[in-house]
Amino acid sequence: MVQKYGGTSVGSVERIEAVADRVARARREGHEVAVVVSAMGHTTDELLALAKAITAEPDARELDALLSTGEQVSAALVAMALQRRGIAAQSFTGWQAGIETEPVHGAARVMEIHAEALEQALQAGTVPVITGFQGIAGGSITTLGRGGSDTTAVAVAAVLKADVCEIYTDVSGVFTTDPRVVKTARKLEHVSYDEMLELANLGAQVLHPRAVENAKQFGVPLVVRSSFSEEEGTWVTETAQGFEQRHVVTGIAFEREVSRIALIGVAVRRHGLAAVFGTLAKNSVNVDVIVQSVVDEAEVDVSFTVKDVDADKALRIVRELRTDLGYTDLVSETGLAKVSIVGAGMISNPGVAAKMFQVLADNDIPVKMVSTSEIKVSCIIPASELDRSVSELHAAFLESAVASVES
């Protein structure tokens, strides 16, 4: 098995000792165990602040070299704690573990893992303790971006053909929605890769989307559980099982701090969509919901959402493109949020979107934009109404014994 421990799980000496106890117990039960660790607590943020104290724009290569040290501290300390318990253990940096990435700093993707060193350690009865979040490309240290330790763990599990990849965190599993917002949210026993991927992309922060993608691609069973209790967690596999299957909707995700930008009267003949979204992509602005409405044969209106943090950059870019695009007006709106319902059962229940819209309408919550896929419906709404919308949708779809579309 591969066990991954997040920053809160290794956030202090006491917690590292608890991690070592858990790993040692699994080892003594006869399991071969590889461990992946994040940096302790808020170490990554502290290292980033140090870099920003030196320069407002740190060199990307040197920033990766700096940030990677956080996980090295955790890995060495966990290895020491295991050794003190009589368990053979050895820390591995990303490059020592053979994790090769694309030559990108700050958000690299894992390309290949040369796992010979890890396999030799396991064959010798040694627990490899691997730094998450990092790899190597062309002799330089690279990092995988926020949540990258999840991705490391899944990639290691895939290459080692592990039976399971356990993701230990500060929550006891995946819930129907954030229990801090809805007290009646319940923990799911099982969730499918597709559902988990949608939930992760739509704002649920339990698992990183790229890790779920890789788990689905390589068929790695995941289980999300708390490092602070022995409680059973949530299994993420190819198909959901059990109680969740009786609900059309599996979970409700949400995202705060959303901005909407609308271009009115974009000239169709100027290939406006390609120009807008191509330029935004080149400038690393992630666009989420996109809605186009046809005005006439010559013009369209285009609306899209970005995170609040990217709103000023996106507005600057589309203003610079005004001459090329030929739009007649530019409208922007902040103070928005996105709420989404997700469930594999939605594929065979065409009334789900209508029910969602009805719940929001009954509560006088205006819908600004809509985005759908086979297993999700997302609505852009005022941020001030987000918590209420999540509660009402959770009650409508997930709090009856069997929540049906017609109910």
Domains in the chain, ordered, with CATH? 2-170 (3.40.1160.10)
Select from 18, 152, 39, 32 the least CA-distant residue to 82: 18
Select from 306, 379, 368 the least CA-distant residue to 341: 379
The alpha carbon dihedral of 104, 6, 341, 310 has a sign of: negative
The alpha carbon dihedral of 274, 217, 7, 391 has a sign of: positive
Q: Is 47 helix (H, G, I), strand (E, B) or coil?
A: helix
Rounded distance between C-alpha atoms, residue 299 and residue 99, angstroms: 49
* Cβ 155 vs Cβ 164: under 8 Å: no
Rounded distance between C-alpha atoms, residue 188 and residue 234, angstroms: 6
- Sequence-ordered list of residues with C-beta below 8 angstroms from that of 390, at least 6 positions apart, any chain: 177, 178, 181, 182, 252, 254, 339
- Tokens read off for 35: 């461990």
Longest dimension (CA), the chain: 75
Q: How many helices (H) and strands (E) does the chain have?
A: 13, 18
Q: Tens digit of pLDDT per residue, the chain (407 long)? A: 999 999 999 999 999 999 999 999 999 999 999 999 999 999 999 999 999 999 999 999 999 999 999 999 999 999 999 999 999 999 999 999 999 999 999 989 999 999 999 999 999 999 999 999 999 999 999 999 888 999 999 999 999 999 999 999 988 999 999 998 999 999 999 999 999 999 988 877 788 889 999 999 999 999 999 999 889 999 999 876 554 455 789 999 999 999 999 999 887 766 667 888 888 988 888 899 998 888 777 788 889 999 999 999 999 999 998 887 778 899 999 999 999 999 988 877 888 999 999 999 999 999 999 999 889 999 999 999 999 999 999 999 998 644 444 44
What are the helix (H) ranges across 39-169?
Answer: 43-54, 60-67, 69-84, 116-123, 148-159
pTM of the model: 0.85
